[in-house]
Amino acid sequence: METTLKKQGMYENVMRQFNRAADTLKLDEGIRKILASTNSEIVVHFPVKMDDGRIEVFNGYRVQHNNALGPYKGGLRFHPTVDIDAARALAIWMTWKTALAGLPYGGGKGGVSIDPSKYSLAELERITRRFTFSLGENIGPDVDIPAPDVNTNPQIMAWIADTFASTKSPSTRMVNMHVVTGKPVGSGGLEGRDRATGFGVVATIKQWAKKENIDLKGKRYIVQGFGNVGYWASHFLSHLGAILIAVQDETGTYYNHEGINPEDLLAYSSKHRGKVAGYGNATEIPAEDFFGLECDILIPAALGSQITLDNVHQIKAQLIAEGANGPTNIDAEEVLLSRGVRIIPDILCNAGGVIGSYFEWLQNKRSENWKIEEVLEKIEDKLALSFQKTIDTADEFQTDWRTGAYMVALKRIEQTYKERGVFP
Ligand code: NAD
């Protein structure tokens, strides 16, 4: 599908968001210069043997934006749109996200430019392991800790952890297994990390509903992307009585006025390589009609730069909860804000994932096993705090919620630099 492959313009978007918030905050000029650039950018080209014996060379990326608050943290994405600009933008968003959530992390992101559906499982394993090997000492449990993102999952995290630990001294094996979060539970993963992002999306929607005195029961919502974030957000929101009326992924757009049962759709997509194409309990509609559907809440949970000046005028929802990173272009956002549409910004809305990752990292460091109920409760508490700080700051500076969220994050990083100074 053309939209999947077109260049996403996310880097320009994140920098414009940053400049807007830095201006409003009157951020220290020196710190602004530091944060406007990335600390390091790693590009690797690595060979992998295919099942038929051919050699293919892949391009992998890891961008480390800033580590003033702690080790770099952020996902690895396997997708054809991964390039240095996408990795930069996504790494920068991670810095703001971890700072806003009050975590002891900086921001990093990366991935491989690849369409994983074209490779066998054995090939994907070799690609993942060789990519990990190529990243070498640039990642590590106290250096830079990757996690799942688009088209990567606990299995891929397990291969990364095993490769990383296997290429280090055997005496450090257990510690080095903690190089990634989002691992399978049997390999040191956290119970509930799988649902943490979608759960967090819904936790922030609940905060919005509480603030606006809105009953979520019966509210109609649409979801773009039915992967990890899209499914779990639908699961939790439908449990609150809201009605999922349309889902779009890269293979199709499905609508049912009476409602789509997320569990039924998951049962279907799980049997069809995770895709919704051909789903029988809803009607297929043209992809371009998706954003214009009559609904209360829109959850983008796929790729960046999906809501643009081309489609923003169709949007009917009163709330956009950004499960995806960077789904709304800044020009389109201005149109939405002028119409009074609320946006829960990505760095707040989808932060449940990295908060869950932080708990996994802590659990690993302490050799503990946390219960899922405890994990979800702690994620909800942290998000409630971030939500409150965001709206308080936005109110104080008479600005939108995204700028408010950025300002909370930037203030925290600015304070650190002011306290520690810049070496030497
Ligand atoms: P995923 O690979 O599990 O799912 C991605 C979904 O997007 C799939 O359903 C796919 O078909 C769909 N998609 C891809 N291209 C599309 C297109 N052009 N139009 C419509 N749908 C399309 O990935 P995920 O982990 O659910 O991540 C989704 C988004 O959430 C990404 O922006 C990611 O950065 C963000 N995010 C993920 C996490 C996490 O913990 N996984 C955390 C924070 C943010």
According to CATH, the superfamily of the domain at 196-349 is NAD(P)-binding Rossmann-like Domain (3.40.50.720)
Bridge-based pairing state of the strands 55-66 and 40-49: antiparallel
User: At residue 5, does pLDDT exceed 70?
Assistant: no
Ligand 1: lining residues by beta carbon, under 6 Å: 1, 3-4, 148-151, 197, 224-230, 248-250, 301-303, 323-325, 350, 353
Atom of ligand 1 nearest to the CA of 196: 40
259 SS3 class = coil
Closest residue by CA, ligand 1 atom 23: 150
Average pLDDT over all residues of the chain: 96
Q: What is the pLDDT of residues 101-158, one digit of tens each?
A: 999 999 999 999 999 999 999 999 999 999 999 999 999 999 999 999 999 999 999 9
Cβ-based neighbours of 148, under 8 Å, separated by 6 or more: 75, 76, 154, 156, 157, 182, 228
Spatial separation of the C-alpha atoms in residues 50 and 43, rounded to whole Å: 22
Spatial separation of the C-alpha atoms in residues 210 and 418, rounded to whole Å: 36
Give the pLDDT confidence score for residue 2 in this predicted structure. 37
Give the pLDDT confidence score for residue 7 in this predicted structure. 53
Told to judge if 109 belongs to the known catalytic residues of this protein, a careful annotator would answer yes
Which residue ranges does the chain devote to CATH 3.40.50.720? 196-349
Q: How far is the CA of 247 from the centre of ligand 1 (A)?
A: 13
Spatial separation of the C-alpha atoms in residues 58 and 78, rounded to whole Å: 11
CATH 3.20.20.70 fits 41-190, yes or no: no
Cis peptide before 300 (omega within 30 of 0): no
pLDDT band at 8, cuts 50/70/90?
Answer: low
User: At residue 4, does pLDDT exceed 60?
Assistant: no
Q: How far is the CA of 303 from the centre of ligand 1 (A)?
A: 6
Reported as half-sphere exposure (CB side, CA atoms, 13 A), residue 367 has a value of 2
Q: What is the pLDDT of residues 183-201, one digit of tens each?
A: 999 999 999 999 999 999 9
Average pLDDT for residues 84-91, to the nearest whole number?
97
Which residue ranges does the chain devote to CATH 3.40.50.10860? 41-190
Spatial separation of the C-alpha atoms in residues 106 and 37, rounded to whole Å: 14
Q: How far is the CA of 178 from the centre of ligand 1 (A)?
A: 24
Of 257, 235, 390, which Cα lies nearest the Cα of 301?
A: 235
Best of 224, 228, 298, 305 to mutate for ligand 1, by most ligand atoms within 8 A of CB?
A: 228
Closest residue by CA, ligand 1 atom 18: 4
The single residue of 109, 183, 219, 275 carrying the catalytic annotation is 109
Q: What is the pLDDT of residues 287-312, one digit of tens each?
A: 999 999 999 999 999 999 999 999 99
Average pLDDT for residues 159-180, to the nearest whole number?
96
Q: How far is the CA of 230 from the centre of ligand 1 (A)?
A: 7
User: At residue 258, does pLDDT exceed 90?
Assistant: yes
Spatial separation of the C-alpha atoms in residues 385 and 406, rounded to whole Å: 15
Share of the chain above pLDDT 90, in %: 98
Q: What is the pLDDT of residues 396-415, one digit of tens each?
A: 999 999 999 999 999 999 99
Atom of ligand 1 nearest to the CA of 4: 18
pLDDT band at 9, cuts 50/70/90?
Answer: confident
Give the pLDDT confidence score for residue 373 in this predicted structure. 97
Spatial separation of the C-alpha atoms in residues 145 and 142, rounded to whole Å: 7
Closest residue by CA, ligand 1 atom 39: 149
User: At residue 52, does pLDDT exceed 90?
Assistant: yes
Atom of ligand 1 nearest to the CA of 302: 7
Average pLDDT for residues 217-233, to the nearest whole number?
98
Share of the chain above pLDDT 70, in %: 98
DSSP for 337-384, written as a single string? HHTT-EEE-HHHHTTHHHHHHHHHHHHHHTT----HHHHHHHHHHHHH
Q: Which of 4-8, 204-208, 248-252 has the least mean pLDDT?
A: 4-8
Bridge-based pairing state of the strands 252-255 and 283-284: antiparallel
pTM of the predicted structure, to 2 decimals: 0.97
Cβ-based neighbours of 69, under 8 Å, separated by 6 or more: 98, 99, 103, 104, 105, 106, 412, 413, 416
Q: What is the pLDDT of residues 374-392, one digit of tens each?
A: 999 999 999 999 999 999 9
Atom of ligand 1 nearest to the CA of 249: 21
251: DSSP letter: T
Q: What is the pLDDT of residues 315-370, one digit of tens each?
A: 999 999 999 999 999 999 999 999 999 999 999 999 999 999 999 999 999 999 99
